Structure 1
C-alpha cells in the first residue's frame, strides 16, 4: 500500500486478517517442527483449531491503532505483535470455558471437551477423560499465554517500541484477570446492581477487547498522548456495546450463527446487565421465576423460554438495545473528534458498526 493510498483508503479488513493469520501460521508451524515431544501435538492441534475460528478483533484493532497513530515503515513486526494478542485471547478463551464449564466454542467442542475426546480415542480410560480434559486445557491455556509473550518479544520490534508497549501489555493482562475474577465472583448471584455488572464488562471486555489493542497499536506507531486519549474515548464505549450485544446473543441469539448454546449463560447464572435490569424491575411473580430458574444447571429449553419472557416483559432486553445504541453513538462522536488520519477513522467507523450490529 502506497503512502498516498494509506491516507485516503481505510486499511482493508480482509487483508489485515490475512496478515495476522499468516503470522500465526508461521509461528505455529515453527513450533510444530520442533516440539519437546509428540505428546504436545494434541495441545497444539487444539490450539490451531481454536485460533483459526475467531474474528481477529483484537489484532485488527491493534493494527487500526497503528494506522490511527500515523503508521509508517514496514509493518511485519507490528503484524506479529498484533498476532500475539490472538494467542493471549486463546489463553483467555480456554480458561474461560473451563471456568464456565462450556461444552462449545464457536460451534465446535470447547478445548477441554476436545482434549477429553482425544484422550479416550488414544486409549485413555473413560473415567479419567473429564479430569484429563480439564487439566490439559489449563496447560493449553498456559502454553498459549507463554507463546503470546514469546511472539511479542520475537516480533522484530525495535527496543524503544518494545519498551513503550510492554507496560500496556502488562496493564491489559492485569485488567482482564481482574475482570475475570469479578465475573467469577458475581456469577450465580442474582442481583439488580447494574453498576456492578457494567464494572465487570468494562474490565473483562471493554478495556481488553478494544481500548488496549488500540493503545498498543498506536503506541507502536509512536502516537502522541492525545491519540491515546482518543483511543480510550472511542474504545471503552464501543467495548461495552460489544459485550452488551454478546450478552443479548447469549440468551436470544441463534446458536447456528453464534456457535454457542443459548442456555449456557442462564444455566451459569451470569450476572449480566440484562439480568440485573430484569431483577431490578421484576414483579414478585417475575422475580420468583428468575430466582427459581436462573442458575439451574439442568435448565430446559422450556424453562429458558420462561426466563426470556421475563427479560422481554420487564423491558430489560429493550433497555440493553438502547444502551448499545447510546454507547455506539458515544464511540462514533469520539471518533469524529479524534486526531486520527481520515482513512483510519473510516475503518474504525465501519468496524464499530459491525461490532454492535453483529448476530454472532
Structure 2
C-alpha cells in the first residue's frame, strides 16, 4: 500500500497546507473522472453516428470549460473532515456526479433565462441555433437550439446519476432529495418571475432550495454520509444553509452590478427575466418605480441599477451576506471534527461568498 499523504485517512494532525493538498488532489481526480467518463461515452457513440459524437463533444466542452467546482469541493471537504479515506474512489464518483448535475442545471438555466453567453462563450442553445442557421436546415433555428440544449442537459442529468451509483451508500440517500429539490426550486423561480409579485419570503426560499442547499449544505452532508458520520448533518446543515444563501445573494449582486467580462455571462439577466431576487424584492418595497423600469419598454438596465443604488438595498444585502457568513462560521465552530477542518470550512465560507481564490 502506498504511503502517499493523499491515500491516508485523516489523523487529526493535519495542517492547513496538508488538508488543502489532499483536497486539491481529490479535485484533480474528479476532473480526471469526468474527462475519462465522457471520453468513454464519446467513443461508444462515435460508432453509432457522427451526430451522436457531436452531442458528447458539446457536453464535454462545457464540462471542461472551467467552473469553480464548488459542489465537489464541499462534498470532498465534508468527507475528509468526517475522517473519510482519501483513497476511496467512491467519493470521487460522488463529487463528479454533483458536478455533472450542476452542468445539467446550467444548460437548462441558460435556456430558461434566454442567456447568450456562459463562461465567456456562446451558450449551448445559442450555438446549436447558429449551427441550424449556418447549414440552412428546416424548421425554426431557435426551437432546434433550445431542444438540443434541453436534451443534452437531460443527458448530463442521466450521467450524474450513473456516476453517483458508484458512490458510497451513505452518499446516495441525500442525493435523491437534492435532485428533486433543485428542480422544484427552479419551478418556483420561473413561477415567481411570471407573477412578479414582491414577496421577500418566497425570494429567500427560492434562493435556499434552488441554489443554497444544493451548492453547499447537501454536498457537505453527502460527504459526511460517505464517511458514515450522520452525526455531522445538523452542524453542516446550519453552516451550509447560511453560507449557501450568502453565495446566492452574491450571485444576485454580480448579476445586477458585475462585469460580464469577469463573470463570463451577460449582466442584468435578472432584470430582463423579471427574477424576483431578494435584492429586487427589497428594493421594490422601498421604490415602486423599479417595477416600471423593469417591465415597461424603453428603459435600460443602467436605469434600474441607478435606482437600485438609490434605495440603499445593495448595501443592506452586503450586510446580510456578512451576517450569514458569520452565522455559518459560528455553526461550524463546535462541530465534532478536527480543528484544522473547522478552520478550513470557516475559510471556505469567506472564499465562496466573496469569490476569493
Q: TM-score, normalised by structure 2?
A: 0.90
SS at match of 1:11: helix
The 8 Å contact of residues 119 and 263 in structure 2, kept in 1 or not, is answered as yes
List runs of 5+ in structure 2 lacking aligned partners.
Answer: none
- Per the TM alignment, residue 73 of structure 1 is displaced from its structure 2 partner at its CA by 5.8
- Per the TM alignment, residue 6 of structure 1 is displaced from its structure 2 partner at its CA by 6.7
Give the aligned length. Answer: 344
C-alpha distance in 2 between matches for 1:78 and 1:299: 51
Residue 137, structure 1, aligned to residue 149, structure 2: yes
Residue 357, structure 1, aligned to residue 354, structure 2: yes
CA deviations 1:153-175 (Å, max 9, x no partner) are 2x3x4xxx32x332211100111
Question: Mean Cα displacement is larger for which, 4-13 or 176-185?
Answer: 4-13
- Per the TM alignment, residue 40 of structure 1 is displaced from its structure 2 partner at its CA by 1.7
List runs of 5+ in structure 1 lacking aligned partners.
Answer: none
- Per the TM alignment, residue 126 of structure 1 is displaced from its structure 2 partner at its CA by 7.4
Q: Which residue of structure 1 aligns with residue 292 of structure 2?
A: 292
- Per the TM alignment, residue 137 of structure 1 is displaced from its structure 2 partner at its CA by 0.7
CA deviations 1:169-204 (Å, max 9, x no partner) are 110011111110110011144433211110110100
Q: How does 1:97-116 map to 2 (within 5 A)?
A: 97-116=110-129
The alpha-carbon distance between structure 1 residues 206 and 291, as it changes in their structure 2 partners (threshold 3 A), is: same
Residue 173, structure 1, aligned to residue 179, structure 2: yes
Residue 304, structure 1, aligned to residue 301, structure 2: yes
- Per the TM alignment, residue 16 of structure 1 is displaced from its structure 2 partner at its CA by 3.6
- Per the TM alignment, residue 259 of structure 1 is displaced from its structure 2 partner at its CA by 0.9
The 8 Å contact of residues 69 and 224 in structure 1, kept in 2 or not, is answered as no
Question: Mean Cα displacement is larger for which, 231-240 or 32-41?
Answer: 32-41
- Per the TM alignment, residue 17 of structure 1 is displaced from its structure 2 partner at its CA by 2.8
Question: Mean Cα displacement is larger for which, 1-10 or 227-236?
Answer: 1-10
The alpha-carbon distance between structure 1 residues 352 and 130, as it changes in their structure 2 partners (threshold 3 A), is: same
Q: Which residue of structure 1 aligns with residue 320 of structure 2?
A: 323
- Per the TM alignment, residue 309 of structure 1 is displaced from its structure 2 partner at its CA by 1.6
Q: Which residue of structure 2 aligns with residue 200 of structure 1?
A: 206
Structure possessing the higher relative contact order (Cα contacts under 8 Å, 6 or more residues apart): 1
C-alpha distance in 2 between matches for 1:260 and 1:142: 22
Q: Which residue of structure 1 aligns with residue 276 of structure 2?
A: 271
Question: Mean Cα displacement is larger for which, 41-50 or 309-318?
Answer: 41-50
The 8 Å contact of residues 12 and 338 in structure 2, kept in 1 or not, is answered as no
Residue 43, structure 1, aligned to residue 64, structure 2: no
The structure 2 residue matched to 1:211, chosen from 211, 217, 221, is 217
Question: Mean Cα displacement is larger for which, 126-135 or 266-275?
Answer: 126-135
The 8 Å contact of residues 30 and 96 in structure 2, kept in 1 or not, is answered as yes
C-alpha distance in 1 between matches for 2:49 and 2:322: 51
The 8 Å contact of residues 10 and 346 in structure 1, kept in 2 or not, is answered as no
